[in-house]
Structure 1
Amino acid sequence: MTRTAVTSRELPHPERDEIRLEGVLHALSDPLRLQIVRELAADGGELSCSYFDLPVTKSTTTHHFRVLRESGVIRQVYRGTAKLSGLRRDDLDDLFPGLLDVLLAAADRQRARLAGRG
């Protein structure tokens, strides 16, 4: 992974050509990480980490965001004291055309199917 961080406030991200399909699929295989990506995709912009209401500890939330960032699924930046996350949709769509849309649609169908059981 290219380490582009030059200060403690900048986070390292893989360059586009370093993003690998198996890393993306691994990152999206966790239900909480998939939830984060679904919310980022629905918003279309950048969201603060505190926006997400996840049923896990802060350290576990940090871990999930790190996995998404290191796999190239999201980009995180600091703006003031807030850490903002945004989906790297352009990079993912260029590298794996249609993959993100198919996965998000499948996640929506699964959520609806499981909600119907309750």
Structure 2
Amino acid sequence: MNAVNDMIDAEVKNNDVLLFMKGTPSFPQCGFSGQVVQILDYLGVPYKGVNVLENMEIREGVKAYSNWPTIPQLYVKGDFVGGCDIIREMFQAGELQDMLGEKGIATAKQSA
């Protein structure tokens, strides 16, 4: 384990809903990150965004941490959920809302 991995691990464990993304929740800097932000905001889910563009070590480290090659990456209660396509598909099917509910994460809209 190195310092970057430890930092990523701490963020994942200390935030119920964590999004590693390009940009910030208020200013996404890629379309895929923006789509996940829109879904989380629509659901009213409190979450923390980590801007991987600010730190190349985190940008590369998070890919190794999850064994997932792309950003954004969504974690819920310490578990890797997926990237943009997976989150969008889960949201459209109502599975994201169900999973959040099962993990005790309150959403403003319980069903799509």
Q: Give TM-score, length-normalised by structure 2.
A: 0.31
In terms of fraction of residues, the more strand-rich structure is: 2
- Structure whose residues are more often helix by fraction: 1
Larger radius of gyration: 1
Give the TM-score of the pair, scaled to structure 1: 0.30
Answer 1 or 2: higher relative contact order, Cα 8 Å, separation at least 6: 2
